[in-house]
Structures are given as structure tokens and as C-alpha cells.
């Protein structure tokens, strides 16, 4: 006869979703074999619009087919150094890398380092009004007032006046990286960033935080708060 606690465990597993069961299996596999899911960046190379639409449709169907084997996925855009800095749309997936063997034709893929949490500089957009080309804007052109952004390291000799920042765009509600005047930011601090989209954006932005240098970020935060006094 099954013991009560064992019977309850079996019932719980029976009721769990396929995704939860797969994640449990992945944890057990990693725990006892050292094999863990990998993270991969996939994108559609430059092509004509008709073919792009066809490939994108195939990619969507592929993601639907393997959704129970995918632990995490998101779509974002990063600058492409191979395309004069224009944005490259890509999908980042954490999954069993064996499913990549069935990727549709016409899609490029690259295994990347896991998107582990990273210490980053954080600031808030001031609740102030600015005039940009005769138009009054509260907050900034790209970010809502009060919203959190992730300023990157110094990348030029401008005295840290206009660094790149990663933040949620006010119109599209998608994360972007763009140059932003530090005079429009306040409440500088350091936080452990866990959002994989932000971590991915920081990794592909000039001066982005990726080395877990908490001390460097804190020194810069303290300097910016003193500047604001």
C-alpha cells in the first residue's frame, strides 16, 4: 500500500502541467548529470519582405510546437554591428538545446552565456517638463516620468553627460537602449537586475553592465547623487 505522503506526491505530479513536469525533469537531470538547459539567440538574416514573413511564420509555429520544452523565451531588438548599427530583431530562448536541430530553414542561431542576474546602475526619470523642438514633454522623449532606467558605464569623454541607458520605451512598452542626458535622471543607486530582457540588452549596449562589478557601479551612483546636490 502506498504511504499517504507518496500518494499525495503522485497526485500532484499527475495534475501538474507538462511544462512544470519538464522543468522538474530538467532540474533532476542537471542535479544528477550536470546537464542543464542552454541559452540561444536566434534571428532571421536580411532577406526580402515576403521571405521574411514566411520564415517568421515558420519560427512562430516552431515555438508553439516546442513550447513545453522551452523554459523561457522573449523577443527583443539589439543594434547590429553587421548592418550599420540598425536594429536586429532576435528571439532569446532558454531550453534543451536538442530542439534547435529542428529549427526552420533560414534562421540563424548562436549559443550565448546564461542570462544570470547582474549588478547594475539604476536611476529614475525626473518628473519634469522639457521643451524638445518646441514640444513640451514630461519625463523624457522616450521614457515616462518616474520610470526606472539602467544607465551604462562611461563610454566617451563627455564627463558622463550622455550615457546609453536601457529602459521601457513609453510608447511601445518594449525595452530599448538609447543615449539619455543624465541631467534628466535622479535617485541613482545600484540594484541586482534579474529581468532577462534587461540583462540581454545591457550585454549588447555600449558600456553595459555585464561583469558584476558592484563596487564600480556604486562609486558611479554616489558620484551622480553628489552631482545632483
* Residues 25-55 pLDDT 10s: 555 555 554 445 789 999 998 889 999 999 9
Predicted local confidence at residue 84, as pLDDT: 56
Predicted confidence (pLDDT) per residue in 145-185, tens digit: 999 999 999 888 788 999 999 999 999 999 999 999 999 99
Number of H helices, E strands in the chain: 5, 11
pLDDT at 2 over 70: no
Predicted confidence (pLDDT) per residue in 186-202, tens digit: 999 999 999 999 999 99
Predicted local confidence at residue 135, as pLDDT: 83
Q: How far is Cα 149 from Cα 151, in angstroms, rounded to an integer? A: 6
Predicted local confidence at residue 155, as pLDDT: 83
Q: How far is Cα 159 from Cα 24, in angstroms, rounded to an integer? A: 49
pLDDT at 10 over 70: no
DSSP 8-state code for residue 69: G
Q: How far is Cα 121 from Cα 177, in angstroms, rounded to an integer? A: 14
Phi, psi dihedrals of residue 14, rounded to the nearest 5°: -65, -35
pLDDT at 7 over 60: no
Predicted local confidence at residue 217, as pLDDT: 93
Predicted confidence (pLDDT) per residue in 54-72, tens digit: 999 999 999 999 988 888 8
Q: How far is Cα 143 from Cα 80, in angstroms, rounded to an integer? A: 23
- CA proximity to 68, closest of 116, 19, 35, 117: 19
Predicted confidence (pLDDT) per residue in 73-89, tens digit: 999 988 765 455 567 88
**Number of residues that this document lists for the chain:** 229
pLDDT at 12 over 60: no
- CA proximity to 115, closest of 201, 213, 57: 201
Of residues 11 and 37, more confidently modeled: 37
Categorize the per-residue pLDDT at 125 as very low, low, confident or very high, splitting at 50, 70 and 90: very high
Classify strands 38-43 and 108-112 as parallel, antiparallel or unpaired. Answer: antiparallel
Asked whether the beta carbons of 190 and 218 are under 8 A apart, the reply is yes
Report the pLDDT averaged over residues 207-226.
90
Q: How far is Cα 50 from Cα 61, in angstroms, rounded to an integer? A: 17
Categorize the per-residue pLDDT at 124 as very low, low, confident or very high, splitting at 50, 70 and 90: very high
Amino acid at each position: 500500500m502506498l504511504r499517504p505522503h507518496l500518494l499525495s506526491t503522485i497526485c500532484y505530479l499527475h495534475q501538474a502541467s507538462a511544462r512544470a513536469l519538464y522543468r522538474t525533469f530538467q532540474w533532476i537531470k542537471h542535479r544528477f548529470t550536470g546537464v542543464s538547459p542552454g541559452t540561444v539567440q536566434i534571428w532571421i538574416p536580411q532577406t526580402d519582405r515576403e521571405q521574411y514573413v514566411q520564415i517568421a511564420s515558420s519560427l512562430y509555429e516552431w515555438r508553439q510546437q516546442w513550447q513545453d520544452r522551452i523554459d523561457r523565451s522573449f523577443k527583443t531588438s539589439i543594434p547590429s554591428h553587421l548592418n550599420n548599427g540598425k536594429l536586429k530583431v532576435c528571439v532569446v530562448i532558454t531550453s534543451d538545446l536538442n530542439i534547435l536541430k529542428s529549427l526552420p530553414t533560414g534562421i540563424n542561431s548562436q549559443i550565448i552565456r546564461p542570462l544570470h542576474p547582474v549588478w547594475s546602475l539604476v536611476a529614475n526619470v525626473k518628473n519634469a517638463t522639457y521643451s524638445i523642438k518646441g514640444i513640451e514633454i514630461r519625463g523624457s522623449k522616450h521614457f515616462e516620468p518616474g520610470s526606472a532606467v539602467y544607465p551604462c558605464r562611461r563610454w566617451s569623454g563627455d564627463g558622463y553627460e550622455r550615457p546609453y541607458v536601457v529602459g521601457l520605451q513609453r510608447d511601445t512598452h518594449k525595452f530599448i537602449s538609447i543615449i539619455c542626458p543624465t541631467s534628466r535622471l535622479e535617485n541613482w543607486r545600484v540594484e541586482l537586475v534579474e529581468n532577462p530582457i534587461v540583462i540581454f540588452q545591457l550585454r549588447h549596449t555600449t558600456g553595459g553592465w555585464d561583469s558584476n562589478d558592484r563596487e564600480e557601479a556604486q562609486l558611479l551612483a554616489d558620484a551622480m547623487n553628489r552631482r545632483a546636490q
